[in-house]
Structure 1
Amino acid sequence: MERVVQTAKKSGAYLFNSTMGFFLLNVFFVWLKTYMVYQHDFSLGAKGPMQEFLLFFNPIPTAIILLSIGLYFKGRASYWTMLLMNLVQSIWLFSNILYYREFSDFLSLNIINSGSSAGNNLGKALGGIIDPTDFLVFADIIVLTLLIAFKLIHVNRHAVRRWVAGLTTLLGVALMFVGYGLSESDRSGLLVRTFDNNYIVKYLGLNEYAAYNIYKTQKTAEVKKQATPKNLEKIEKFVKSNNTIPNAQYYGTVKGKNVVMFHLESFQQFLIDYKVDGEPVTPNINRFYHDQNSLSFDNFYNQVGQGKTADAENMLENGLYGLASGAAMVNYGSTNTYQAVPNMLDQRGYTTAAFHGDVASFWNRDNTYKNWGYDYFFSKPFYKGANKDDYNIGYGMKDKIFLKDASQYLDQLPQPFYSKVITVTNHYPYDLDKKNISINKTDTGDKTVDGYVQTARYLDQAFGEFERYLKKSGMYDNTVIVLYGDHYGISENHPKAIAKLMGKDSVTPYDLANWQKVPLIIHSPGLKGGIKHTYGGEIDVMPTLMHLLGISTADNIQFGQDLLAKNNKQVVPFRNGNFVSKNYVKYGGNYYVTSTGTQINPKEDPRAKAIIDNDQNYVNDSLTYSDQVQTGDLLRFHKLAGYKQDDPKNYSYKQDDPKNYSYKKNDTLKSLKDLEKKKPTSAMQKTGGKIPEYETNAPELGGEPQTIPEAISSSQ
């Protein structure tokens, strides 16, 4: 026993009084907190002994490499360097905890670089995500610092021998290669098929993911310089081989009509017909969904990646997927060549305009929209009182106020027009001031989730007011309204709350795959509607809409399929390489029969394996080729018959500044008035300026404050 005590004392003295001991303490703490975060905060889906071992092992190599930097110094410099390296890794870990909690993905260099486009709002979102326990990743640094300060850890003033420091670093490098070798044995081609960042972190580690992401980002920057027209040949062949044949029953049925793309922020399919305490959450959208003149799709999925809303816009207007890392609108929106819906319609006589109640620079919209061919972009500065605190919440203007102000510009657009209206109130953190609340929260016990139905109800009311305005203005009968949800509102990192909302005890990956459904409703008076069960996603909206308008997409480089076409593949790729099809679902590394949710093992069913492999090849090729189009700017080599690439310099989204005359020649409002004179087809012109007043019950504008009906309120 005495020998054990003596050994323990010597070990303690070594850890607390030697440089190498302090190094080992830091390695242990970095490993411990990283592994705990893997298990508690990330959903990495480790299966089997090998993956579990790699999850346990992978924090160690980079911890050794980075912390060993301190071994090349002596005395206090050595100790503080090690603490600094610990801090750097802890900040990276902390940042990813917060980002993953909301976005189910890891931070990338592109996302960090795009912070300026999202910076004015990012803090608001992350502020609501933080849990006090997240700060425990810094606890060891604080404790070690205090132990040094109070001399409970004695700083060894002698330098570690150089060969010892060098061997320690080499040990970390060697262990990294060992981890990579084991990873390749379990999943070959790990760094070739990198659709899912979870795999990189699960197999190699969070720090290795950061290094690989930086390398890949820099390599991607070189792709455009080296791209040639030949790079487009195999992509054109793939796109043509997967083209759908337009449905003759629908092709051109809304030709020449106005189009309003109504963007339902963070709105999920489960909200349709969903009730809280017997009260429908979204009565206006429910009615619209079931209308006889609405084409509604109940197997329609969001397919966004890190770009979230920006990815949805990219898919709907270009037929191109979001990127594996970052957002295309930020990375390439200012410089790439596009063949976007606004520009194509603009060249067919449409006036094109986008409306958004936030600053123009968010997601680089002010530059990207010029490249996409939008004639006008009415952002926050165009709306009266837009900077009043009471008119804003979360990510911009409250929807009711924003839509009322936007209507005055929609009135002035020469018809036909193509417009996109982006709402923002139903965005995380789902907070709403009391005077605008008209339904109870849900009672899942998850504070992130429970307010979601309240902001969704507000969005539904705002849409109802907008719909009534279109009818009063006379534009409704000649307009196609496309309602779409851009991405999930409640991420899969809230499984208990999701289960309760779904009325289940727990959720499976199959449930989470279906949780990715968002609404798509295409409505126009006279259109033969109905609820369609076709499996599709946001990538499919562009060809579907264009064919309804009577415009062929046969020669476009786009990766969607007409949802109304009889030869639609009904395969829905997700950005991480998973998919849903009419036959099978691949999600979270598991496979399920789509119709029943029964889990299967493809290796045990040759027929299922053949179908799944074919679908997976289609998914992989679609994502890879779409990425190549964007990273290589390959559309600059593509000639589309009858299409002329517009010059972004032709557009200006500025307001008139009376103190600066140079603005006047490009002033948006002046330009719009000039266009109205040349083409007097706007609702304003047709009615001689007698547009009915936009009606809203927004309390900020004099409406009655919302209240929760007593029958509902008393049930909680």
Structure 2
Amino acid sequence: MKNRTYGQLSAHFYLVAGLMWLKLLLLRLLLFDRIAWEWIAYDLAPVLLLLGLSTLITPARARTAVYWIWNGVLSVLLFASSVYFNHFGSVPTYLAFYELNQVFQVKESVESTIRALDYLFFADFAVLLVYALFRRWRGTAGPDFRRNVPQRRTRRAFLIVILVSVICGGALSLYSIRSARDITNELVQAESAGFLNYEAVAAIKAQEDNGLVGTGDIGETADDIKELQASYGYSDQPPGAVPDYFGSQKGKNVIVIQMEAFQNFPLFQSLEGQELTPVLNGLAGESFYFPRVFQQIGPGNTSDAEFMSNTSIYPIGTLAMSTGFSDRTLPSLPRLLRERGYEAYTFHVNKAGFWNRSRMYPALGFNGYYDKDDFTNDHFNAFGASDEQLYITAAEKLAALQRQGTPFYAQLVTVSSHHPFRIPEEAKRITLPDQLQGTMLGDYLTAINYTDYAIGTFIELLKQQGLWDDTVLVLYGDHFGLQPKDVPAQQVEEALGIPYDQRISRFNIPFMIHAPGMKQGVVTDQTGGQLDFLPTIANLLGIPLSGEGFTAFGQDLLNIDRNVVGMRYYLPTGSFFNNDILFVPGAGFDDGEAVSLSTLEPVEDFSRYRSDYDYILKLMELSDQYVKLLPQR
């Protein structure tokens, strides 16, 4: 090969390596709002390794094309990762690509999170296209780098550059991967290792986890879980005491409403004299209401909330539970109730294939489900039918079971308040002040108000069908609705006159249980999470979980004096809520941070909570072991 050709090749190598490095630095800026200069070499290292290896194994005439193909692949990957982070608030790993088929189901929601800056990942291709068109217009063939390439480069010099790139790039990447592996905080891990090395860390961890099928004895794991939970001391009640409210609703129907993107802060608030959630406010006054409950979902989002509320098992944090574990026989509330003569159904106005629900619902033990084709499509939003149509169909089907004398368990999943919270004009029931017109917060509050109104229509249907006085009604939010980048805390505080924290308030979801004949509400300030829903409901229905040999990772919120609930994915692994604080680790416990649940102010001395940190890490580890050992169907 002529020196001039190797000069061209080296020019493309340096150019593409530099462009890929700049794009990785841009991703750092978009994800972490800064470029930590001490770690930027960790972004360059895998680029040099990748391009160097490609040079060594690719025929000379194809190398330039391969460089630009890698640049294009990285551009698409980084664009998708930035959009993913905008939408979910976490750095994606390669495992997130298992869920790519779900994107088209929430196209409107995803499109609304794309920023103009995200398109910078393709800026170099746009420049090259313009340059090529200009050269063609001038009568030349296209981009040509030869004039700017030094003519005295030799093959030996270029090969030395490539070997140095492979050796140094590989060594530096390996060092960053080894350094980051012991960091529990995924955000710190991704920032310190660099995006591409972080993907390698995730792959190594997935390999160590042996995929989704565990090894060992599930009985021994269950015993380890029981022993660990006994060490925490959730309750001051003497052993063997009958829990409060145990069996008070035995034999009653149960309807669970999972409210889309419903945070707790709109409850009991008004906007220029307009009550935002009048139905839920009134219902809380005659229900068990838990104002300190927090989401615990993983990458499965709404489907993970359905999974947890029915199983009291932690999501694994790397894959939607409906994708990874729908081939199992899952211990669940539907199964417990079916053993007691109930029938169990779930209602969702989207197609059941979305998030693999068509397989998850049988895994959870439901008799059947009603999905998109079972509802009148009033074209409310991208999903089709409105919450009102969801409730009309559900009331009709459940009334038929009632007439047959069959007790039932039903889970209803709402979608009318789904991001980006755009509802038809005719469905809007509040008037926004000028400062909220056209804002995400204004759209959100309008959608929440509609969700509340639709629940009121459902309650009226239950009364008309004779179901209300024989049914336990459970309501909870599946996950947050507002992202900090869309709605600053100050905007919420100014609009409603309430304190708002970007983590505590955002992850705080409502949870309430209305029991038939209940006239006086009970407010329980006990901290809880979505894992606690099943044990709390089971207690009211008179189901002794320990006596059933049922392994639950949550607690009965009506019968504990203290609690700690872990969270990962939307917060780093090791994060937890207890009765006092939200704790978020740094690289470990000592460099973490704590915020008071009561004051929303930082807590400087959180050393006394180290045992909670160690406990929750171990509990989530055992949960992962347990779910992987569940029998396959």
Same fold (TM over 0.5): yes
Shift of 1:221: 4.6
Preserved contact between residue 270 and residue 496 of structure 2 (Cα < 8 Å)? no
Map 1:540-559; keep pairs closer than 5 Å: 540-554=532-546, 555-559=549-553
Map 1:198-597; keep pairs closer than 5 Å: 198-222=187-211, 224=213, 226-229=215-218, 230-241=220-231, 248-289=243-284, 291=285, 293-333=286-326, 335-383=327-375, 385-386=376-377, 390-414=378-402, 415-441=406-432, 443=435, 447-494=439-486, 496=488, 498-503=489-494, 511-527=502-518, 529-554=521-546, 555-567=549-561, 569-575=562-568, 576=572, 577-587=574-584, 589-597=592-600
Q: Report the Cα distance in structure 1 between the residues aligned to 2:282 and 2:7, rounded to whole angstroms.
A: 73
Preserved contact between residue 83 and residue 141 of structure 1 (Cα < 8 Å)? no
Shift of 1:407: 1.9
Q: Report the Cα distance in structure 2 between the residues aligned to 1:240 and 1:99, rounded to whole angstroms.
A: 39
Letter of the 2:98 partner, please give it.
N
Find the counterpart in structure 1 of residue 135 from structure 2: none
Find 1:104's aligned residue among 82, 89, 99.
89
User: Which digits, 9 at most, give the CA deviation of each residue in 1:455-492, with x for residues without a partner?
Assistant: 21221111110011111111101111001000001123
Preserved contact between residue 484 and residue 521 of structure 1 (Cα < 8 Å)? yes
SS state of the match for residue 473, structure 2?
strand
Preserved contact between residue 265 and residue 505 of structure 2 (Cα < 8 Å)? no
Find the counterpart in structure 1 of residue 44 from structure 2: 60
User: Which digits, 9 at most, give the CA deviation of each residue in 1:142-181, with x for residues without a partner?
Assistant: 3246557643523879867444323211221122134346
Map 1:132-211; keep pairs closer than 5 Å: 132-144=116-128, 150-154=142-146, 161-180=158-177, 184=179, 190-192=180-182, 194=184, 196-211=185-200
Q: When the two structures are superposed, what TM-score results if normalisation uses the length of structure 1?
A: 0.76
- For structure 2, the residue ranges without an aligned partner over 5 or more in a row are 133-140, 586-591
Q: Report the Cα distance in structure 2 between the residues aligned to 1:508 and 1:25, rounded to whole angstroms.
A: 50
Q: Report the Cα distance in structure 2 between the residues aligned to 1:463 and 1:540, rounded to whole angstroms.
A: 23
Preserved contact between residue 71 and residue 159 of structure 1 (Cα < 8 Å)? no
SS state of the match for residue 42, structure 1?
helix
Find the counterpart in structure 2 of residue 89 from structure 1: 74
Shift of 1:314: 1.7
Preserved contact between residue 428 and residue 489 of structure 1 (Cα < 8 Å)? yes
Q: Report the Cα distance in structure 2 between the residues aligned to 1:60 and 1:336, rounded to whole angstroms.
A: 42
Q: Report the Cα distance in structure 2 between the residues aligned to 1:56 and 1:455, rounded to whole angstroms.
A: 43
User: Which digits, 9 at most, give the CA deviation of each residue in 1:235-282, with x for residues without a partner?
Assistant: 342245457567633111111111100111110001112333331222
**How many aligned residue pairs are there?**
593
Q: Report the Cα distance in structure 1 between the residues aligned to 2:497 and 2:27, rounded to whole angstroms.
A: 22
Find 1:632's aligned residue among 606, 629, 633.
629
Find the counterpart in structure 2 of residue 36 from structure 1: 26
Q: Report the Cα distance in structure 1 between the residues aligned to 2:86 and 2:558, rounded to whole angstroms.
A: 36
User: Which digits, 9 at most, give the CA deviation of each residue in 1:3-58, with x for residues without a partner?
Assistant: xxxxxxxxxxx9x964333323323322223223322x3248x8xxxx93444333
Q: Report the Cα distance in structure 1 between the residues aligned to 2:312 and 2:12, rounded to whole angstroms.
A: 54
Shift of 1:522: 0.6
Q: In structure 2, do the counterparts of structure 1 residues 511 and 411 end up closer, same or farther at CA, with 3 Å as the change threshold? A: same
Deviates more, 1:217-226 or 1:310-319: 217-226
Letter of the 1:557 partner, please give it.
T
Letter of the 1:409 partner, please give it.
K
Letter of the 1:197 partner, please give it.
E
Preserved contact between residue 394 and residue 425 of structure 1 (Cα < 8 Å)? no
Identity of matched residues, %: 25
Letter of the 2:309 partner, please give it.
L
SS state of the match for residue 262, structure 1?
strand
Letter of the 1:79 partner, please give it.
T
Matched, 1:77 2:62: yes
Letter of the 2:97 partner, please give it.
I
Shift of 1:74: 6.7
Q: Report the Cα distance in structure 2 between the residues aligned to 1:584 and 1:225, rounded to whole angstroms.
A: 33
User: Which digits, 9 at most, give the CA deviation of each residue in 1:423-461, with x for residues without a partner?
Assistant: 111101111122222224574688544311122122111
User: Which digits, 9 at most, give the CA deviation of each residue in 1:620-659, with x for residues without a partner?
Assistant: 11211111112333xx4xxxxxxxxxx97xxxxxxxxxxx
Q: In structure 2, do the counterparts of structure 1 residues 445 and 617 end up closer, same or farther at CA, with 3 Å as the change threshold? A: farther
Letter of the 1:434 partner, please give it.
E
Q: In structure 2, do the counterparts of structure 1 residues 587 and 514 end up closer, same or farther at CA, with 3 Å as the change threshold? A: farther
Q: In structure 2, do the counterparts of structure 1 residues 613 and 508 end up closer, same or farther at CA, with 3 Å as the change threshold? A: farther
Q: Report the Cα distance in structure 1 between the residues aligned to 2:396 and 2:499, rounded to whole angstroms.
A: 47
Q: Report the Cα distance in structure 2 between the residues aligned to 1:432 and 1:480, rounded to whole angstroms.
A: 29
- Give me the CA root mean square deviation: 3.1
Q: Report the Cα distance in structure 1 between the residues aligned to 2:66 and 2:294, rounded to whole angstroms.
A: 48
Q: In structure 2, do the counterparts of structure 1 residues 65 and 440 end up closer, same or farther at CA, with 3 Å as the change threshold? A: farther
Q: In structure 2, do the counterparts of structure 1 residues 166 and 396 end up closer, same or farther at CA, with 3 Å as the change threshold? A: farther
Letter of the 1:114 partner, please give it.
E
Find 1:20's aligned residue among 10, 15, 22.
10
Letter of the 1:525 partner, please give it.
P
User: Which digits, 9 at most, give the CA deviation of each residue in 1:576-632, with x for residues without a partner?
Assistant: 321222223213742234433342444xxxxx41x2101101211121111111233
SS state of the match for residue 553, structure 2?
coil
Find the counterpart in structure 1 of residue 107 from structure 2: 123
Deviates more, 1:198-207 or 1:28-37: 28-37
Preserved contact between residue 591 and residue 600 of structure 1 (Cα < 8 Å)? yes
Q: Report the Cα distance in structure 2 between the residues aligned to 1:530 and 1:119, rounded to whole angstroms.
A: 41
Q: Report the Cα distance in structure 1 between the residues aligned to 2:499 and 2:55, rounded to whole angstroms.
A: 47
Q: Report the Cα distance in structure 2 between the residues aligned to 1:329 and 1:632, rounded to whole angstroms.
A: 16
Preserved contact between residue 54 and residue 179 of structure 1 (Cα < 8 Å)? no
User: Which digits, 9 at most, give the CA deviation of each residue in 1:526-565, with x for residues without a partner?
Assistant: 3452222111111111111100111112232111011111
Letter of the 2:479 partner, please give it.
H
Preserved contact between residue 394 and residue 427 of structure 1 (Cα < 8 Å)? no
Q: Report the Cα distance in structure 1 between the residues aligned to 2:438 and 2:253, rounded to whole angstroms.
A: 42
SS state of the match for residue 594, structure 2?
strand
Q: In structure 2, do the counterparts of structure 1 residues 60 and 494 end up closer, same or farther at CA, with 3 Å as the change threshold? A: same
Preserved contact between residue 35 and residue 56 of structure 1 (Cα < 8 Å)? yes
Q: Report the Cα distance in structure 2 between the residues aligned to 1:615 and 1:302, rounded to whole angstroms.
A: 18
Q: In structure 2, do the counterparts of structure 1 residues 225 and 548 end up closer, same or farther at CA, with 3 Å as the change threshold? A: closer
Q: When the two structures are superposed, what TM-score results if normalisation uses the length of structure 2?
A: 0.86
Find the counterpart in structure 2 of residue 640 from structure 1: none
SS state of the match for residue 197, structure 2?
helix
Q: In structure 2, do the counterparts of structure 1 residues 154 and 447 end up closer, same or farther at CA, with 3 Å as the change threshold? A: farther
Q: Report the Cα distance in structure 2 between the residues aligned to 1:52 and 1:507, rounded to whole angstroms.
A: 35
Preserved contact between residue 212 and residue 324 of structure 2 (Cα < 8 Å)? no
